[in-house]
Structure 1
């Protein structure tokens, strides 16, 4: 599935696509490739090619020629390939050019500013995000809802998702456009007695799971006179967690392409991970509630003992190592969003925020980029020097 982060074009680049073989038009800042659509245009292909490389916003609204319907704009939306930026902004990308390559694919995420830069001129065209302060700007509920017709942040979100009748395509596009609830508080999810159950403070994770890990290791260690065996199995579990973390994030939390196009699939996706991408700075929906983690972790308990049938103690030590890795993952995830961190973590923070605000279909590693590099999903972006 192609990345949803679209390239940028200068006006000159758009104007160069002015032939029957490559016909681009713009409406405001949006760039559309209408080459294939031209043959299906009700007014004939020649009328489309007459405006190749030009802006068509006025002509679409012209009552004399033909005011176009909402359906016409929906057809155009299927052909969007990028956004127009000024020559000045293009030059600021570091190579003097916009990143449009003429085929609608974003090869590299140029211009993503570092989270500590205060004067970067680039604003990402889809999310509108720029620097760290933009991540905490309150969303205007009324304006956002009237524009996108998605979710009203002033009302409980769960019934809106369940009864909204959203298509999968529309839902995925909207849920990955980050919003920010006023003051960084939690938006209402259920709006009733279930509301407290949907929130988990970060400190609950080590409080619940570290004692369990410690007790499990104690039981596992009883089988060995040399505790290096216990340590070896525990470290093995910690290593296994890193690939589990990557796999869960990529193939479960971002099951976007295979998501059922119905309200059950969309609602489950929203509750599991979609709400985090929709409201990524919500402090109480950043870590996994213990009840949900028990559901996800239970199969792995049995899997560990199936893989290591010769020793209950060894399997338990491996499992404890994996659970410890999960605790590190959840705490890292929280701190990447909400804390100032040492230098190495600052780079990791930029990487994870790029996953949210540039391209959610890449950059699945949270505690490290290792498996992204191995499996070719590393998110690359150009950070300009201050």
Structure 2
């Protein structure tokens, strides 16, 4: 095999007769079958170009740099290793976390250049297991905790306030927690997850990649879309301690229950935006288009996942252009 091409084990190209959807671009052929349902523009925009040259359509529809980079994943015969390919800087057959620190100033460009493959983070099987989370694990773990906090929080509220009609205050406190979560969601995504390491600090690169960078690098890896319970528990405990300084003892647990409910909804929405097919003009249709723009074109805008409210407040909202026809995923 040509040593300048990545092997089929390194990429995720399907070669079966029933799993082919080929296009041509600059004298090369690409099988984008596995990408069809993930294409931000939908299947219906892509299908007319099967077995055709897409150079002009890609320019006409103003594809991002990330789109051209991702296309390399599907090159027939394997991804070609050239001087412009940032993947030559790492070894995809080895755990990635230990490698990203050496990227230095190249890290920021590499991490927003998406690939379509699965990623191993740790050499340790135990640590790797703790970072891989099927979507259903999140509600399975957190919903019982939310119910427990809501029940205990209600009892605590009644005990402290002696309120004989606690329904409205309890609902308001839980709702307050849900609203608070939307601000936490935006703040974490914008100022923590999207901080840009200088390239001089390996520890900052490791941290950034572990908490969010890997998701931008492998956006289609369904095992790494929702937040693993262990780090989520650490963040929850930190938020619990911080909010105890601002909320009264009688409602604090109820606010936390609401915040956790907001988090679970956020994580489920995030997974759906990547793998769901929302109907035209629905709330999630807009959010999916919005989130795709954040991933593949405007990394420093569009930080809202479950809502675009705080993007509008802080001036980071994305404008989605009007399309000639609706998108079908």
* Aligned twin of 1:374: 313
Aligned residues: 263
Cα contact 1:332–1:366 (8 A) shared by 2: yes
Q: 1:113 to 1:296 in 2, by over 3 A?
A: closer
For residues 72 and 294 of structure 2, what CA distance do their matches in structure 1 show? Answer: 13
Bigger RCO of structures 1 and 2 (CA < 8 A, at least 6 apart): 2
Cα contact 1:219–1:313 (8 A) shared by 2: no
For residues 135 and 304 of structure 1, what CA distance do their matches in structure 2 show? Answer: 46
Q: 1:260 to 1:159 in 2, by over 3 A?
A: closer
Cα contact 1:276–1:285 (8 A) shared by 2: yes
1:215 Cα deviation from its structure 2 partner: 0.7
1:384 Cα deviation from its structure 2 partner: 2.8
Matched, 1:244 2:177: no
Matched, 1:322 2:224: no
How far does the alpha carbon of each residue in 1:138-182 deviate from its partner, in whole angstroms, 9 at most, with x for none? 8945637982233332332122224xx2223x111111011111x
Matched, 1:214 2:151: no
* Aligned twin of 1:347: 286
Cα contact 1:241–1:322 (8 A) shared by 2: yes
Cα contact 1:142–1:152 (8 A) shared by 2: no
More helix by share: 2
For residues 99 and 254 of structure 2, what CA distance do their matches in structure 1 show? Answer: 44
The RMSD of aligned alpha carbons is: 2.7
* Aligned twin of 2:67: 128
Cα contact 1:113–1:384 (8 A) shared by 2: no
Residue 305 of structure 1, aligned match among 234, 244, 268 = 244
| Runs of 4+ in structure 1 over 4 Å off | 133-142
* Aligned twin of 2:81: 143
Cα contact 1:123–1:129 (8 A) shared by 2: no
Cα contact 2:100–2:107 (8 A) shared by 1: no
* Aligned twin of 1:232: 172
Q: Secondary structure at the match of 1:306?
A: coil
Q: 1:249 to 1:340 in 2, by over 3 A?
A: same
Residue 363 of structure 1, aligned match among 302, 308, 317 = 302
How far does the alpha carbon of each residue in 1:337-365 deviate from its partner, in whole angstroms, 9 at most, with x for none? 01112422111101001100001100000
For residues 371 and 231 of structure 1, what CA distance do their matches in structure 2 show? Answer: 23
Q: How does 1:181-196 map to 2 (within 5 A)?
A: 181=117, 186-193=118-125, 194-196=127-129
Q: 1:360 to 1:347 in 2, by over 3 A?
A: same
Matched, 1:171 2:107: yes
Q: 1:361 to 1:138 in 2, by over 3 A?
A: farther
For residues 152 and 221 of structure 2, what CA distance do their matches in structure 1 show? Answer: 37
Q: How does 1:50-199 map to 2 (within 5 A)?
A: 114-116=41-43, 117-118=45-46, 121=58, 122=61, 124-128=63-67, 137=74, 140=78, 143=81, 147-148=85-86, 149-162=88-101, 165-168=102-105, 170-181=106-117, 186-193=118-125, 194-199=127-132
Q: 1:296 to 1:353 in 2, by over 3 A?
A: same
Unaligned runs of 5+ in 2: 1-38, 49-56
Provide TM-score, normalisation by structure 2: 0.73
Q: 1:197 to 1:299 in 2, by over 3 A?
A: closer
Cα contact 1:304–1:315 (8 A) shared by 2: yes
Cα contact 2:107–2:199 (8 A) shared by 1: no
1:383 Cα deviation from its structure 2 partner: 4.2
